[in-house]
Chains A and B, each alone.
Chain A
């Protein structure tokens, strides 16, 4: 009920859609919502190089899947670039496609 009111006037025009959505879910569940910041935005990385294993390594957990954005907190733009880089690195056998 309180949520509804807030999303009405405040949510739309102010923009910042992503942050809004998170804030909306936050107070209701009263959870320890940790603020996630895109690692690449924070470090001001514009080009994610497929040759740079050190950069890609934290985004490939043990099953060698690409870490989802909702967990890593990477922004959409950087996730796209990251995905491209990981796929290129896989093709060059620098990263595995699967591990079991």
Chain B
């Protein structure tokens, strides 16, 4: 059994498409996800937006975001389906769990460090350290004549 992972899918629907096709596409995606033992997390419709450059002959498009848990097979199937769908002019399907995990880890680490600082009775400031490193450079300049004296 392959593992469940968190994925984010953004697709751009052609501006010629009606509201109906957009909802149809969404239900299609949802059905594929649930059929292949996936699980929808959330959906967002960003509405019509201007594209930064032309895709085909289009200058704008409707953005839809879908977040779901699923397997590798599921993404393969989704990718294939989106590629052959003419109303979808562009799509991006990426795995995000790993990156979010990394972000969460560094956040936890920073919090732990801040707590340690407070426990030690130091002011809870991360910037102090940075300033000292810069002062260190200045100090060096001041130190030099002292050595020679």
Contact = CB atoms under 8 A, between A and B. Distances in A.
Interface of A: 2, 6, 10, 16, 19-20, 22-23, 26-27, 35, 37, 42, 44, 46-47, 51, 88, 90-97
B52 A88 contact: no
A19 B63 contact: no
Contacts of A95: 52
A16 B136 CA distance: 11
15 contacts: A16-B133, A22-B137, A27-B141, A35-B134, A44-B110, A46-B102, A46-B103, A47-B102, A88-B94, A91-B90, A92-B63, A93-B52, A93-B55, A93-B90, A97-B53
B51 interface: yes
A46 B107 contact: yes
B53 to A, nearest CB: 5
A95 B92 CA distance: 14
Nearest to B91: A92
A96 B53 contact: yes
* Chain B: number of interface residues, binned into ranges: 20 to 34
Q: Which 5 residue pairs across A and B have the least CB separation, nearest first? A: A23-B137, A46-B103, A47-B103, A93-B51, A96-B52
B70 interface: no
Nearest to B59: A93
Interface in B49-63: 49, 51-53, 55, 61, 63
Nearest to A35: B134
B137 A37 contact: no
B130 A37 contact: yes
Contact of B92 (A20, A26, A91): A91
Nearest to A81: B99
Contacts of B52: 90, 93-96
Interface in B80-135: 90, 92, 94, 99-100, 102-104, 106-107, 110, 127, 130, 133-134
Given A46-B106, A51-B65, A92-B12, A19 B133 contact: yes
A92 to B, nearest CB: 5
B107 A23 contact: no
